[in-house]
Each structure stands twice: as structure tokens, then as C-alpha cells.
Chains A and B, each alone.
Chain A
Amino acid sequence: MKKAAHVVSLFLISIHITAINANAQVTSAGKLSAPAVFMASTPCSPGTKPLPGIPKEATCELIKWELKLFGDTKKQTSGTYTLNCVYGMPNQGTQGLINGGTPLHREGKWVITKGTRTNPAAIVYRLDPDKPPVSVSFLRLNENLLHLLDSRQQLMIGNGAWSYTLSRIQQ
């Protein structure tokens, strides 16, 4: 029994150390690593809930996303993120929102998982994997593109105006 408790302790400690390493945002040289920044304008409707945190009764046709993934997305399998969005009704004739929209901020952890229902080789970025009610997943199309998934890990279908593809912006 004592031995079992020892093994369990070691297991939990190893998880803790992994999490600490994954969340590091400082390179070995001591410099802050620049985040990968992904942006998009995506649809939003009463029937869809592309992003937890938007009230069901909110009038919303457009979400403007800015997702920052900290950590080396080429080498690491986890890290931290910040997500700043504004949502609301589009201001016709512009790329903006009426009255600037309603802001929404989230931050937490991201991890990479492998495989979707239809593609075992697919790479999926998941925000807040430890909080399933607010967890959000994206399919990695390449190093510059992410596409939002639904609850069954299928590609979100956009409309004639906007899609659910986030593009990496060089800053």
C-alpha cells in the first residue's frame, strides 16, 4: 500500500512538472517568446455557440477573434493562451461592429491532441482542456491556419460572408 501511494505521488508530481514546463513562456535564453497570433472574423448566431461566454440572448452575427498562443507551437504540445474577442452586429459597409461590439476575454491553457473522428493524423489545439464546459477546439490546417470545430470535432460551417478559419498574423 505504501509503495502504491509512492507511485501515485510520483505520477502526480510528474503531471505537475509537465504542466509547469508547458506553461513556460520564457525561452532558455531568458527572453519572452513571442506568441503566435491568430485572427478572424467568424459568424455567430442564436443557433450556434462558437465561443462559450456569449449569452444565448445576445444579438450576435459576427465575432472578431484575436487568439494568442504562448509557447513554441512547433515544439511544444501545450502552453498558455489569451483570447480577446468582440461580438455583436456588423456595421454595414465596414469590417467593424455596431458600437464596437461587446468584448470577451479568456485566458488559460492550450494543449495539442491528435486525431479527430475522421482523421487520426489531425492535430487539434484545445483551449482549456481541463474545463470541458468551456473547452474550445481548433483543427490545425498548417502553421498559419486554425479552423474551429464543433462538439464532435467536425469543421464549423460558415456562411456566404464569414468562415471559421483563423489566420496567423505576423506582428
Chain B
Amino acid sequence: MKQIIFILSACFGFLLTNNAEGQTAAPDNKISESITFREMPKGRAVYGIFEGRTPCFEISRQLGANLPSDCDHLKWQVIFFRDTLTLKPTTYILTTEMFGRRPLKGKWKIIRGTKTDPAATEYILETNLPGKSIYLLKGDENVLFILDENHKFHTGDQNFSYTLNRVNKVRRLSGQ
């Protein structure tokens, strides 16, 4: 009798925990290529390049940026640099429409553990905007989530989220 119960429980548990076969197979979940027409930094000094598109106004309020009222979305590109020997964070370059597409440059650092999640990892981008930093939660090596000033998630809309994805920049000559 115990055996029957064990088998039934195991079958039921398997049903609930079995991997979803209907989803993208892990080997096909790859970093996307992103076309660029200019030379991009590369090599060991680059930790990664992340891009995404977010809604306009929540994040511009947070960072004190002025945007036109017809702003539809913001394009983000963050290039993270690191020390080539220690691999520790050094500087970053952030490009968005928020600052007239003038790159925002500064230092970045990694902190581990937050008030609500001791296992969380955040990247903090220090800016020259008074009292403003940009907080990014590490989802994993390839996905980052933009946080608010209280280190909480922003909620996106039906078109855009506050997620940045690692990309491989591929250079194309213009007209190619």
C-alpha cells in the first residue's frame, strides 16, 4: 500500500515539476546580435553591453530628466567596463534620449544583498546628477532590471518594460 501511495505521489510531483517542454530550449535562448555602424569597445575590459527600451516618464522623473510630452519610449544602451586584471567594475557609459543622447559616464559597483533579498545582486551606476544613482538588479548574467530609487521594480506597460538584455554588437559599414 505504501508503495502505491509513493508511486502516485511521485507521478503527481513529477507532473508539477517537470520542465516545460513547450518553451524555448535552453540552447536556443541566446544573446541577440545588435547592429551598429560605429566601432564599439570590446575585449577583456568590457564586462558587457546591455540594451533595452523602456517607457519614458517614470524613469525620467526618477533621474530628473526633461523629456518631450510626446516621448514614446527610451532606448537604453549601457556599456560596462572592468579592470582587465582584477575584473572588478570600473566605469560605464549610458546612452539614452534622457540626456539628449549625450552619454552619461561614471563609475559602477556591485553590491550583494538587499533589504528584501539577501541573495540579490545589484549594479549601482554612480552619476554626476545630484543625489541620483541608477540601480540595476541582476536577473542573471544576461538580463538586468532597472529599479527605482527605493530599489524596487518599475512596472512597464504593454509595449515596453524596464528590462535590459545583453547584446552582441555587430558592426556593419553604412550602406552594407
| A113: B residues at CB distance < 8 A | 16-17
Tell me if B173 counts as interface (CB < 8 A to partner A): no
In the complex, the answer to whether A135 meets B32 with C-beta atoms within 8 Å is: no
In the complex, the answer to whether B32 meets A158 with C-beta atoms within 8 Å is: yes
| B4: A residues at CB distance < 8 A | 4, 7-8
| B18: A residues at CB distance < 8 A | 132, 135
Q: In the complex, A68 Cα to B23 Cα: how many Å?
A: 19
In the complex, the answer to whether B53 meets A161 with C-beta atoms within 8 Å is: yes
Interface size class of B (residues with CB under 8 A): 35 or more
Q: In the complex, A50 Cα to B29 Cα: how many Å?
A: 9
Q: In the complex, A115 Cα to B173 Cα: how many Å?
A: 46
In the complex, the answer to whether B34 meets A159 with C-beta atoms within 8 Å is: yes
Tell me if A107 counts as interface (CB < 8 A to partner B): no
In the complex, the answer to whether B29 meets A156 with C-beta atoms within 8 Å is: yes
In the complex, the answer to whether A169 meets B165 with C-beta atoms within 8 Å is: no
Tell me if B41 counts as interface (CB < 8 A to partner A): no
Q: In the complex, A134 Cα to B18 Cα: how many Å?
A: 12
Q: In the complex, A130 Cα to B22 Cα: how many Å?
A: 12
Asked, given contacts A43-B32, A167-B155, whether A159 binds B165 with beta carbons under 8 Å apart, the answer is: yes
Tell me if B143 counts as interface (CB < 8 A to partner A): yes
Tell me if A55 counts as interface (CB < 8 A to partner B): no
In the complex, the answer to whether A157 meets B30 with C-beta atoms within 8 Å is: yes
Nearest Cβ in chain B — how far from A14, in angstroms? 11
Q: In the complex, A149 Cα to B156 Cα: how many Å?
A: 18
Asked, given contacts A157-B31, A167-B156, whether A118 binds B140 with beta carbons under 8 Å apart, the answer is: yes
Measured CB to CB, the nearest residue on chain B to A3 is B1
In the complex, the answer to whether B16 meets A133 with C-beta atoms within 8 Å is: no
| A132: B residues at CB distance < 8 A | 18-22
Q: Which of A64, A133, A147 contacts B21 (CB 8 A)?
A: A133
Tell me if B85 counts as interface (CB < 8 A to partner A): no
In the complex, the answer to whether A149 meets B20 with C-beta atoms within 8 Å is: yes
In the complex, the answer to whether A157 meets B143 with C-beta atoms within 8 Å is: yes
In the complex, the answer to whether A144 meets B153 with C-beta atoms within 8 Å is: yes
Asked, given contacts A158-B52, A165-B163, whether A152 binds B158 with beta carbons under 8 Å apart, the answer is: no
Residues from 104 to 133 in A contacting B, C-beta threshold 8 Å: 111, 113, 118-119, 121, 126, 128-133
Q: In the complex, A160 Cα to B166 Cα: how many Å?
A: 8
| A129: B residues at CB distance < 8 A | 15-16
Measured CB to CB, the nearest residue on chain A to B52 is A163
Nearest Cβ in chain A — how far from B10, in angstroms? 12
- CB pairs A–B below 8 angstroms (23 shown): A49-B24, A50-B23, A50-B24, A129-B15, A131-B22, A132-B18, A132-B20, A135-B21, A142-B152, A142-B153, A145-B153, A145-B155, A147-B139, A151-B23, A153-B19, A157-B30, A158-B52, A160-B51, A160-B77, A162-B53, A163-B143, A165-B161, A167-B155
